[in-house]
Structure 1
Amino acid sequence: MSIAENIARVREEIASAAKEAGRDPGEITLVGASKMNDAAACREAIAAGIDALGENRVQEMTQKLGENAYDGAPLHFIGHLQRNKVKQVVGHVSLIQSVGSLELLDEIEKVAANKGLVQDILLEVNVGGEEAKSGFAPADTEAAAEAAASRSHVRVLGLMTIPPADADRDTNMRYFEEVRALYVDINRKMFHNGFKYLSMGMSGDFADAIRCGANMVRVGTAIFGARHYT
């Protein structure tokens, strides 16, 4: 199937999950996770109406920016971001979804201040407590939100999470519900319901994430096909 056909099928699944949860499918933002796909594939997804594209790797993102791969759609950074690469990302993307440490937050603030802009971000929640994964522990997320709110060159628009890959469906949904509860609580207490995005769910679980409250999903292989790692 073509990328356009895959996007149409994913949108049908989004609509079904949203309606099942009594929600408007139009409130769900579909981010095409375009890692390891070339500029032509990105352009095809944009032509098919993808809401945004998301990249995981700074070097790949920079190359495709030079090829005008993202013209016509917002670009998000959705992967692990090293502090020494923040300068290459801030100001080049509309949203950094993966801010998972105070050190990274401080670096984004510093670079954004030097560039004279405000960078929109999401705080990443390490909901499964995985040692190898970045992100704030659920118990630390409110304090991280307070720290971010005190910075003048970042703007927190919500939360993002990636549950452990080996979690079964029931556990996965509990993780999604836990992060949604955090999102609602922090949004109400600190941001006066100004949050925009709860980014949860990928190709294998985005429908369940929507049922649990996600309004942004990051879908790669279901749109672009299987990635071939070398």
Structure 2
Amino acid sequence: MTIGENIQTIGERIRAAEQRFGRELGSVQLLAVSKKHPAAAIREAFAVGQHCFGENYVQEMTEKAAELTDTGIEWHFIGPIQSNKTKAIAVTARWVHSVDSLKVAQRLSAQKPASAPAINVCLQVNISDEASKSGVSPSQVPKLARQIALLPGLKLRGLMAIPAPEHEFERQRAVFAQVRLLQQNLNAQGFALDTLSMGMTDDMEAAIAEGATIVRIGTAIFGCRNAINTGKMALTNPL
């Protein structure tokens, strides 16, 4: 299947999940995760109407952005953030999903170009308490949210989570429900958060059921990393 066909298939899954779980049609955005795939593949996806792309590595994102300046792509940074890499992120990305410390947020705020719009940020929550993953613990979310909301040049939009893999649908939902409740609690405290960045290829339906507004899909669009070409590709279990 081509990249365009894969995007169409994912779009159909998203719309079906919206309908199934009573979500407003079009309320869930597809973020194409393009890490480790070439600029030519991104250009192919852009040509069929996919305009938002997520990258995990700063240098890779900036190199692709420089190669694709003619497209008007909206870049989302979704990987762990080293404080010495924040300037490149602030210059390139319109969204940063993986903020998990005040220091990183302060640097993004200070390094955003004055002429650029505010950077949309999500707090990454380590909802499954995994030592191997970035993110702030749920108990620390309210304090960090209050601190970041005061920073100029940033717009706090919501929460992002990458739960530990679960294979049962109801167990997937239960974890995503915890993220949704965190957001609801913040909004009850006076925030106006409208974004839940959660759900990937294998659990996006459960995420949509629990309020995801952005799902991050890579393999089901581009194929296995480092094994892509810009034409047709063979995918093993692409969805």
Same fold (TM over 0.5): yes
2:15 corresponds to 1:12: no
Contact 1:53–1:70 (CA under 8 A) maintained in structure 2: no
Q: Equivalent residue for 2:105?
A: 105
Which residue identity is paired with 1:108? L
Q: Equivalent residue for 1:209?
A: 207
Contact 1:29–1:51 (CA under 8 A) maintained in structure 2: no
Contact 2:89–2:108 (CA under 8 A) maintained in structure 1: no
Matches within 5 A, 1:73-222: 73-112=73-112, 115-116=113-114, 117=116, 118-165=118-165, 167-169=166-168, 170-191=170-191, 194-222=192-220
SS of 2:220's partner is helix
Structure 1 CA distance for aligned equivalents of residues 127 and 189 of structure 2: 20
Deviations 1:94-118 (A, max 9, x none): 1001101222122222223xx3253
SS of 1:25's partner is coil
Which residue identity is paired with 2:171? T
Which residue identity is paired with 1:89? I
Contact 2:157–2:195 (CA under 8 A) maintained in structure 1: yes
Superposed displacement of residue 70, structure 1:
7.5
Percent identity of equivalent pairs = 38
Contact 1:158–1:195 (CA under 8 A) maintained in structure 2: yes
Which residue identity is paired with 2:215? V
Contact 1:21–1:211 (CA under 8 A) maintained in structure 2: yes
CA 1:51 to 1:20, structure 2 compared with 1: closer, same or farther past 3 Å? farther
User: After alignment, is 214-223 or 98-107 more displaced?
Assistant: 98-107
Q: Equivalent residue for 1:225?
A: 223
Structure 2 CA distance for aligned equivalents of residues 51 and 187 of structure 1: 29
Structure 2: segments with no counterpart, 5+ residues: 228-239
TM-score normalized with structure 1 length:
0.92
Structure 1 CA distance for aligned equivalents of residues 194 and 68 of structure 2: 27
4+ residue runs of structure 1 moved beyond 3 angstroms? none
CA 1:70 to 1:177, structure 2 compared with 1: closer, same or farther past 3 Å? farther
SS of 2:221's partner is helix
Structure 2 CA distance for aligned equivalents of residues 2 and 132 of structure 1: 34
Structure 2 CA distance for aligned equivalents of residues 97 and 151 of structure 1: 16
Contact 2:96–2:121 (CA under 8 A) maintained in structure 1: yes
Deviations 1:13-60 (A, max 9, x none): 101111111112311110000011111111111111124111111111
Superposed displacement of residue 82, structure 1:
0.9
Superposed displacement of residue 91, structure 1:
2.7
Superposed displacement of residue 209, structure 1:
0.6
Structure 2 CA distance for aligned equivalents of residues 51 and 185 of structure 1: 32
Contact 1:200–1:206 (CA under 8 A) maintained in structure 2: yes
TM-score normalized with structure 2 length:
0.88
Q: Equivalent residue for 2:52?
A: 52
What is the root-mean-square deviation in Å for CA atoms of aligned residues? 1.6
Superposed displacement of residue 149, structure 1:
1.0
Structure 2 CA distance for aligned equivalents of residues 197 and 70 of structure 1: 28
CA 1:69 to 1:38, structure 2 compared with 1: closer, same or farther past 3 Å? farther
SS of 2:181's partner is helix
Deviations 1:100-146 (A, max 9, x none): 1222122222223xx32532211111101111211111111111110
Structure 2 CA distance for aligned equivalents of residues 71 and 208 of structure 1: 32
Deviations 1:52-89 (A, max 9, x none): 11111111111111211682331111111111110111
